[in-house]
Amino acid sequence: MNKKILLIQMNITTPTLTSAFEKNGFRVIPYNMQCDDYDKCRDELIHILDSSYYGVFMYDYIPQMAEACYIKKVLYIAWIVDSPCFALYSDTVTFETNRLFSFEKKQVEFVKKQYDIDMIYQPLGTDVTFFINKIKKKDSLSSDVSFVGNLYNSPDRNLYLSIKYLPDYIRGYISGIIAFQSNMEQNIIVPDLITEEIEEGFKKYVNFDADTYDIEYVREIISLIQKESTRIERCNAASVLSRLFDFKLYTGSDISFDKEIKRGRYLDYQNELPIVFYNSRINLNITLKSIETAIPLRALDIMACHGFLLSDYQDDLAYYFDDGVECAMYYSPEDMVQKVDFYLKHEDLRNRISQAGYEKVKNCFSLEKIIGDICDKLNRW
């Protein structure tokens, strides 16, 4: 009798996820949940679940879903694929019906330290099967270098920009942290750096969203600085690359801050992103700084589309992929420019690297394989 899983889909997901679970002996009931009110969703879920279910699977962790599963004595299989995940501060994390996975080692460490429970480290998988059918040659989406992503330069995406007033001292302090971080591979934006004076200043002038769980204030400040740091890095990269190379920026963000930046045309993400990755000679990845060590999905998607990946340094990327063999990594803003220049001049090498990256991703980071890993771990829990 196959174990029955309710697969909660909150954004668009592909058939690959369903078939991956099915290949591993699970029976999948897909469920599209529109969730504006998490409490309502919890009630909805309680209504749906019964003892015939083995578990509920979803990307991300939502405390109300964990509650519903706990009440109905069904496993809550949550795979966290984004950082920060403030919901991990909810003590629903300790429910024994939870089966938690995260792509980010720092979250795993946090949960262990905070609750002494095991969350399993699980790198992401990319939908190689889906992309195979999408990639094709297309000149209008080609360029020497491209970057796809948000610049975090609007107040709704970057809380730091929405703050009306902060004392100069604090603004200077944050600039200093960001300047120092830009020289380093490892994350140095740690709680120790957020002194009492900084924390008090924020408490006085900044209103983080009132939350139901007891998030460490310091963590919110850190995430804010990490986001702002990413904004600076991405905007600077766009400005520099636009002046030196044939660079296209695919973004919904406002680019009026620099007339030199060329915006790539509006994209149908589902169908055209793979084409951009395939047709750019170099695909740039600049990871959101709150993803401290993990490989972001973007990097895997690029390689799955046979794209050449030039990424900022991430511990896990360096661990699983050979720099210069399966992808390329840069270690400073200057290094990024030098490597763009170098790899544009070495087409054969570039092609060898993207092919090797594709093979690695196909064999080790496909969604099918990763879901298989998750199913294994569930069975052995």
Partner 1 sequence: MNILFIEWKSYGNEDIKAAFKALHHMVYCHPFDGNGELHQNDKIENDVKKECNDHKIDAVFSFNYYPIIARVCNDIDTPYVSWIYDNPYVLLYSHTIILPTNHIFVFDRSQYMEFHNNNINTVHYLPLAANAKRLQGLISDTSKQSVFKKSKWYNQTPIAFVGSLYTEKHQFYKRMKDISDKTRGYLEAVMEAQKHVYGYNFIQDVMTEDIMDDMSKNLPLRPDPDGVETREYLFSEYVINRQLTAIEREEYLKYIADNIKGHGDKVLDLYTPNEKYRINSTVNHGSVDYYNMAPYVYNTAKININITLRSIHSGIPLRAFEIMGSGGFLLSNYQADFVDCYTEGEDYIAFDSKEDMLNKIEYYLSHENERKEIAEHGLKTTLNNHTYEQRVKHMLASCIIQSVNNTEENT
177: contact with partner 1 by CB under 8 A: yes
Which of left, alpha, beta for 319 (phi over 0: left; psi -120 to 50: alpha)? alpha
15: contact with partner 1 by CB under 8 A: no
Of the candidates 25, 172, 252, 324, which one interacts with partner 1 according to CB under 8 A?
172
170: contact with partner 1 by CB under 8 A: yes
Amino acid at 86: F
171: contact with partner 1 by CB under 8 A: yes
Please identify, among the stretches 133-141, 154-162, 164-172, 237-245, the one whose residues bind partner 1 according to the rule CB under 8 A.
Answer: 164-172
Of the candidates 83, 181, 251, 280, which one interacts with partner 1 according to CB under 8 A?
181
Of the candidates 2, 32, 52, 195, which one interacts with partner 1 according to CB under 8 A?
195
Of the candidates 40, 118, 162, 188, which one interacts with partner 1 according to CB under 8 A?
188
Q: How many residues bind partner 1 (CB under 8 A)?
A: 21
Q: Are strands 26-32 and 143-148 parallel, antiparallel or unpaired?
A: unpaired
The CB-of-3 to partner 1 minimum distance in angstroms stands at: 45
The CB-of-203 to partner 1 minimum distance in angstroms stands at: 17
Please identify, among the stretches 183-191, 306-314, 339-347, 348-356, the one whose residues bind partner 1 according to the rule CB under 8 A.
Answer: 183-191
Nearer to partner 1, 81 or 225 (CB): 225
106: contact with partner 1 by CB under 8 A: no
Of the candidates 15, 176, 191, 324, which one interacts with partner 1 according to CB under 8 A?
176
Q: Which residues contact 314 (CB under 8 A, 6 or more apart)?
A: 287, 291, 293, 294, 295, 296, 299, 329
The CB-of-215 to partner 1 minimum distance in angstroms stands at: 23
Of the candidates 32, 117, 180, 212, which one interacts with partner 1 according to CB under 8 A?
180
Of the candidates 132, 184, 244, 325, which one interacts with partner 1 according to CB under 8 A?
184
Query: Segment 330-359, which members bind partner 1 (CB under 8 A)?
Result: none
The CB-of-198 to partner 1 minimum distance in angstroms stands at: 9
Distances (CA, A) of 17 to 133, 345, 362: 16, 39, 15
The CB-of-316 to partner 1 minimum distance in angstroms stands at: 21
240: contact with partner 1 by CB under 8 A: no
The CB-of-161 to partner 1 minimum distance in angstroms stands at: 17
191: contact with partner 1 by CB under 8 A: no
183: contact with partner 1 by CB under 8 A: yes
132: contact with partner 1 by CB under 8 A: no
Of the candidates 35, 48, 193, 364, which one interacts with partner 1 according to CB under 8 A?
193
Annotate the chain with three-state secondary structure: CCEEEEEEECCCCCHHHHHHHHHCCEEEEEEECCCCCHHHHHHHHHHHCCCCCCEEEEECCCHHHHHHHHHCCCEEEEEECCCCCHHHHCHHHHCCCEEEEECCHHHHHHHHHHHCCCCEECCCCECHHHHHCCCCCCHHHCEEEEEECCCCCCCCCCHHHHCCCCCHHHHHHHHHHHHHHCCCCCCCCCHHHCCHHHHHHHHHHCCCCCCCCCCCHHHHHHHHHHHHHHHHHHHHHHHHHHHHCCEEEECCCCCCCCCCCCECCCCCHHHHHHHHHHHEEEEEECCCCCCCCCCCHHHHHHHHCCCCEEEECCHHHHHHCCECCCEEEECCHHHHHHHHHHHHCCHHHHHHHHHHHHHHHHHHCEHHHHHHHHHHHHHCC
Q: Please give the residue ranges that form the binding site for partner 1 (CB under 8 A).
A: 167-177, 179-181, 183-184, 188, 190, 192-193, 195
